[in-house]
Amino acid sequence: MLHTKAPHIEEVIGEALQRAHHLGEPIFISFVEHIDDQDPYRFFEAGLTVDSHRSFWQSAEGDFTMVGIGKASQLFAEGNDRFKEVQSLWNDLKENAVVHDSFGEKGTGMVALGGFRFDPEEPEGKPWDNFKDSQLSIPSFLLTNVGGKSYLTSNALLFPEDHAQQIAAQIADQKEQLLNGLPGTYKVPEIETAVEVAPHEWKETIRRATEDIKAGLLEKIVLARELRLSFKEDVYVSSVLRALAESQSNSYIFAFESEGDYFVGATPERLVKVDERRLVSTCLAGTIPRGATPEADLALGEELLNDPKNRQEHQFVVEMIRQAVEACSSDVQIPEAPVLYPLRNLQHLYTPVNAILDEGYTLLNVVEKLHPTPALGGMPQKESVAYIREKETLNRGWYAGPVGWFDAMDNGEFAVAIRSALIQKRMASLFAGCGVVADSDPQAEYEETAVKLKPMLSVLGGS
């Protein structure tokens, strides 16, 4: 990867085309500039005038937002080696890239955003027809809001036969549309129908799972269900994102487009973050609602902290993440007991994990070791994923899979795609799951998933 201090994008394009002619192959370019402060939701909406392929990521801390428009390049892979294949494709793309970035801020320059299916062996099908097993995009334009400043990255894959002036003019025209477009349309969706998919069959699946756990086939299993909505008109995804950011503090807000469908969510669960080799992961398992009063909220929190079922479920996650992180890191630090992690509708048991990533490992190596955690699959890992594939009443697709981003410096972050919905114009599928152990009650688990559906349902016009 060649870094250049060229002051104008035209010079970067010219240099890249010279290299493309010399090598006889396409060259990727990335140009970063500091711009006036930009509203990410307006930028996301303006992206429709340039390319319908859009992506959105906001960190749980709320101080870091990226909006991607278009696709300068994409990384696809499938099967059990998908994480290694994506890493290899990414390394190849970086090798001869020409990059101008005098700022060095995280999330600028060459950045890939996207995600992975929960289970690469799950048969493809509805409603996930338009989402590949593994799919990450390097946007043509990337807005990054970080440290109170806005940066715009322009990316392009240049071919030897391309003309520098034509490429430069096209980038300039599209930048103008993105940065100076009209304000977007923000409108709360109006629901026509809401249908729970096979709720009685799902409860029966929970009952049978408890019997299988008692029989020693599994220690724990996570089973999810689906709620399908229809609307009076196409959903404005930018409205959904803005509403999620306003209502779901302490959550990662994300959206990824594929062939006109959008996978959108507000997940509280970080899988792993790497920042200059510093690794942070999260054990988040065990759930109870928030209370209507401070006193009730405190009582519910104490109940969760002292509940054997939830503490057991949480400890499964802690031990699995400990083993995965210790396999590729040093100086691993994990507190002895969890604390409460409050959200608007729910509170969870939370244990942070900190470590230093060993040389030779990348963020995707860690994602591969961690996914799926017992909070999303079960225990043992391989057997639980096979059980879900056979018994669960829905096609998970990207639900509960890793979604996130990484940059050219091997920094990045992935979260677990829960509290999410697949939006398809006037239709949406919402997903929520629960951890099942030997003494789980099907009705109680059903009610827990109903609470977990509320964050997405509320921003899609429900109550």
Q: Is residue 198 assigned to a domain?
A: yes
The number of folded domains in the chain is 2
**Residue 196: inside a domain:** yes
Q: In which band, very low, low, confident or very high, does the pLDDT at 254 lie, cut at 50, 70 and 90?
A: very high
Q: Are residues 160 and 215 in the same domain?
A: no
Q: What's the whole-number mean pLDDT along residues 353-371?
A: 96
Instruction: State the pLDDT at residue 108.
Output: 96
Whether residue 107 lies inside any domain: the answer is yes
CA 117/CA 80 separation, integer angstroms: 11
pLDDT band with cut points at 50, 70 and 90 for residue 135: very high
Q: What pLDDT does residue 285 have?
A: 84
Residue 321 DSSP class: H
203 and 136 in a common domain = no
Confidence band of 461 (pLDDT split at 50, 70, 90): very high
Q: Tell me the mean pLDDT in the region 437-442.
A: 92
Catalytic-role residue among 132, 220, 273, 452: 220
Indicate the angle between helix axes 308-326 and 363-370, nearest 10 degrees: 140
128 plus 263 within the same structural domain = no
Q: Which of 148, 180, 212 is the last residue of a domain?
A: 180
- Are 374 and 409 contained in the same domain? yes
Q: For residue 346, give every residue at least 6 positions away whose Cβ sits within 8 Å of its Cβ, in sequence order, or none.
A: 287, 288, 289, 290, 451, 452
- State the average pLDDT over residues 270-276: 95
Same domain, 174 and 256: no
Final residue in a domain of this structure, among 151, 180, 209: 180
Whether 26 has a pLDDT exceeding 60, the answer reads: yes
User: Looking at the structure, do residues 91 and 164 belong to the same domain, yes or no?
Assistant: yes
Task: Give the residue from 255, 220, 223 showing the smallest Cα distance to 415.
Answer: 255
| Containing structural domain, residue 307 | 191-459
pLDDT of residue 124: 80
Asked which of 180, 199, 226 is the last residue of a domain, the reply is 180
* Residue from 226, 269, 368, 445 carrying the catalytic annotation: 269
114 and 238: one domain?
Answer: no
Known active-site residue 257: no
Same domain for 339 and 273? yes
Task: Indicate if 336 and 380 belong to the same structural domain.
Answer: yes
- Contacts within 8 Å (CB) and 24+ apart, 364-367: 364/83, 364/84, 364/86, 364/87, 364/406, 365/83, 365/87, 365/328, 366/272, 366/274, 366/279, 366/281, 366/324, 366/325, 366/328, 366/329, 367/83, 367/116, 367/271, 367/272, 367/402, 367/414
Q: Are residues 71 and 167 in the same domain?
A: yes
Q: What is the mean pLDDT of residues 333-348?
A: 90
What average pLDDT does this structure show over 419-443?
95
Same-domain pairing of 24 and 104: yes
153 part of a folded domain: yes
Catalytic residue flag (residue 220): yes
Q: Considering the domain boundaries, does residue 186 fall inside one?
A: no
- Residue 346 confidence class, pLDDT cut points 50, 70, 90: confident
Which is nearest to 281 in space by CA: 404, 380, 138?
Answer: 404
One-letter amino acid for residue 161 of the chain = E
Average pLDDT over residues 200-208: 97
Q: Are residues 175 and 271 in the same domain?
A: no
Check whether 6 has a pLDDT greater than 50: no
For residue 185, tell me if it sits in a domain.
Answer: no
Within-domain flag for 51: yes
Instruction: Report which listed range, 118-122, 182-186, 313-317, is most confident.
Output: 118-122
Structure tokens at 373: 């955690």
Rounded to whole angstroms, the maximal C-alpha distance in the chain is 71
Q: Is residue 130 a part of any domain in this protein?
A: yes
**CATH number of the CATH domain containing 451:** 3.60.120.10
